């Protein structure tokens, strides 16, 4: 059975002329997951091998915790800085 792949790239601020921030989320045929986030000259990459249960759960935990952290930061900025 062929493994499903995933390959999505997107700019984080597509209408901005000041930044080239983007992400690239990928699951390759060999079961490796990579999430790369770029901002200017810096990047961070999360990796997991989706061929074993421990790393599958670890990938899910990483993504869930990152998503929650991003939403909390967004709410903080909206509450404390948006009206400036």
User: Per-residue pLDDT averaged across 1-11, rounded?
Assistant: 90
Q: What angle do CA 2, 6, 8 make, to 5 degrees?
A: 160
Task: Give 11-18 contacts, CB < 8 A, sequence gap 24+.
Answer: 12/39
The model carries a pTM of 0.86
Say yes or no to pLDDT of 42 above 90.
yes
Q: Where are the domains of the chain?
A: 6-80
Mean pLDDT of the chain: 94
């Amino acid at each position: 059975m062929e493994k499903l792949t995933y390959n999505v790239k997107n700019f984080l601020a597509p209408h901005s002329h000041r930044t080239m921030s983007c992400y690239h989320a990928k699951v390759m045929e060999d079961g490796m997951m990579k999430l790369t986030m770029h901002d200017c000259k810096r990047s961070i990459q999360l990796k997991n091998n989706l061929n074993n249960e421990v790393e599958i759960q670890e990938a899910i935990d990483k993504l869930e915790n990152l998503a929650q952290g991003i939403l909390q930061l967004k709410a903080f900025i909206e509450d404390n800085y948006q009206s400036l």
